[in-house]
Structure 1
Amino acid sequence: MAALFTSHCANNEDTPFTSHSLPINALKIFPCQSKFFNCQSLLPIRKTTQMSSNSMESYGQQVVLITGCTQGGIGHALAREFANNNCLVVATARSMISMRDLDQDKRFYLQELDVLSDENVQHVVSDVVERYGRVDILVNNAGIQCVGPLAEVPLSAVQNTFNTNVYAYNVGTMRLVQAVVPHMASRKKGKIVNVGSVTVMAAVPWAGVYTATKAALHSLTDTLRLELRPLGIGVINVVPGAIKSNIGNSAVASYNQMPEWKLYRPFEEAIRERAHLSQGLKATPTEEFAKKTVAAVLKENPPAWFSIGQFSTVMSIMYHLPLSVKDFILRRKFNC
């Protein structure tokens, strides 16, 4: 039998021969030594696709990368709410210590991220893609407040706010966008969420620097929405009103560092009130903001613009008012 089998392999060069011609056991017992065929190679080849345990773990779950997840801020609240909605959350901040309460929760993957560093951004995004296979949602959230009359705010404070909110935040936003978009585009799927501010709807007195920085982000977001649509990527501008968070506390702390006003000394009380405005008794709780925002973002067809929080409805109306009417209302409200 062995001779017959060997002869078949050696002499029937024009005869199609597959592993189905003989039982698998026969192929194992009588290996072919022909220079024309290697009968062992005719056995069915099983192709396997290896997936990391983390990639398999993320199957069916959305992977969300969020910046600015410092405890007490809205980024932190968003991270928790995405996790509550069965998402795998990559929570980032400049310091791991600022996210220490998330450290023992397996729903979160914590990373230190400095958006000013190209190398750091590329490393974090590559690490996330290697770990989970993708980034489904990117949430850009950061910013600092600056309160004071434009004619007297120290230029150092203006520069610091623009450096953080525009040059650092917007350029940092673009660093992250350019890092994740190729991965999203390859799948024709993904969402980018930028967190702006309702103050852009109607610029108010005593917060001109902060409003200008957020206006820059809104313009960038609108352009991204148009440019990324052909790639299958959605862009959402989240526009918070007054939300209870540590940014309000930071505004007060920053205001306390301001010099004594000269021209605007009679308006001291009104300016200080503006610093406390977002943390009033009726300010929207962070958890409520996060819950409604995440629900909107996770929709199959999310809105391009989503505004929530105290004053969000009022400011939307103000946006459409004639300038003379708008100015009259704001002068009365802010005593100027």
Structure 2
Amino acid sequence: MSMDTFYKQVVIITGCSSGGIGNALARSFAASNCLVVATARSVSSMADLNDKHDVYFLRELDVLSDQSVREVVSNVMDKFGRIDVVVNNAGVQCIGPLAEIPLSSVENTFNTNVYGSMRLIQAVVPHMISRKKGKIVNIGSVSALAAGPWSGVYSASKAALHALTDSLRVELKPFGIDVINIVPGSVKSNIGKTAVASYSKMPEWKLYKKYEAAIKDRAYFSQGPKAIPSDEFANMVVAAIMKKNPPSWFSLGQYSTILAIMYHLPIFVKDFLYNKALMKC
């Protein structure tokens, strides 16, 4: 290992497929002079990161697999001897009415968005504790602040991740580990396409058939014309993470302010606003 490599921070990021937030974060960390271990279920999905072999280290990682997580962490430790930053970005959308959505889809969403993050956290924390240093970054969502119709499963999974992040922040502070909750609003990425692809596998709605168009539109909700570009989002997030004393909570992107406000509104006001929107369907 060269001395230049020795002084660079080692960052593991999950969910780095091209066109996504993780991919943009990988490029931004690399531009900040970090060694980036970019991971995804398929290495070929990250081909655009392969042009700088001294900066990007592409690894196949399935967050649903304990063995896959352990192997990647072990490989990184063998290669670099440390892990400075972990970014739990891998996630899936899940659109549909709660009364009819298959429980298998609910389980897959939580296994990816919640348990997948915990698998990696539990794998890296012992190494970070041994050095009394490290940063764990969880990518949440503003949808967890004000869950609306059709996205209840996704919002619930991110709300669970937010709660875990709050507990971890206090539990790991005595060991010198910072825990940061990144809460994106609308960010331009491929999540709309993947959400629609996932939605296409859903059964035909029976109870909510008249809402079918509105339910499908929800998959594209975060990809409107005012959504912040993923590169801009990534640069601001990385700048916050790389601070000596990073913030515990960092939120930006379209809807981040309005949904933060809605979080503090009385329930009857939130229900009124959502029911009014529902009546237009």
Could you tell me which of 75, 100, 115 is aligned with 2:63? 115
**Corresponding position of 1:124:** 72
* Residues 143, 202 of structure 1: alpha-carbon distance in 2 compared, 3 angstrom cutoff: same
Structure 1 CA distance, aligned partners of 2:203 and 2:129? 49
**Which residues of structure 1 form unaligned runs of 5+?**
1-51
Could you tell me which of 9, 14, 27 is aligned with 1:67? 14
Q: Which has the higher contact order (CA 8 A, sep 6+)?
A: 2
Structure 2 CA distance, aligned partners of 1:312 and 1:149? 24
Could you tell me which of 94, 99, 109 is aligned with 2:46? 99
* Residues 253, 119 of structure 1: alpha-carbon distance in 2 compared, 3 angstrom cutoff: closer
Structure 2 CA distance, aligned partners of 1:118 and 1:264? 37
What TM-score do you get using the length of structure 2 for normalisation? 0.93
TM-superposed CA distance for 1:334, in Å, is 4.1
Structure 1 CA distance, aligned partners of 2:197 and 2:5? 41
Q: Which whole-Å deviations, capped at 9, do the CAs of 1:88-128 have from their partners, x for residues lacking one?
A: 10101111111112123121011111223333322221221
Question: In the alignment, is residue 311 of structure 1 matched against residue 259 of structure 2?
Answer: no
Determine which structure has more spread, i.e. the larger CA radius of gyration: 1
- 1:236 aligned counterpart, secondary structure: strand
**Which residues of structure 2 form unaligned runs of 5+?**
none
* Residues 257, 125 of structure 1: alpha-carbon distance in 2 compared, 3 angstrom cutoff: closer
Percent identity over paired residues: 61
Structure 1 CA distance, aligned partners of 2:278 and 2:52? 44
Structure 1 CA distance, aligned partners of 2:38 and 2:262? 35
Question: In the alignment, is residue 198 of structure 1 matched against residue 146 of structure 2?
Answer: no
Could you tell me which of 302, 305, 324 is aligned with 2:246? 302
**Corresponding position of 1:136:** 84
Between 1:81-90 and 1:323-332, the stretch displaced more is 323-332
**Corresponding position of 1:159:** 104
Question: In the alignment, is residue 147 of structure 1 matched against residue 147 of structure 2?
Answer: no
Partners of 2:94 and 2:105 within 8 A in 1:
no
Question: In the alignment, is residue 265 of structure 1 matched against residue 209 of structure 2?
Answer: yes
Structure 2 CA distance, aligned partners of 1:199 and 1:207? 8
Q: Which whole-Å deviations, capped at 9, do the CAs of 1:51-103 have from their partners, x for residues lacking one?
A: x33xx232332111111111111111100010111111010111111111212
* Residues 147, 85 of structure 1: alpha-carbon distance in 2 compared, 3 angstrom cutoff: same
**Corresponding position of 1:227:** 171
**Corresponding position of 2:199:** 255
Could you tell me which of 30, 33, 41 is aligned with 1:83? 30
- 1:252 aligned counterpart, secondary structure: helix
Structure 1 CA distance, aligned partners of 2:106 and 2:99? 16
Partners of 2:113 and 2:157 within 8 A in 1:
no
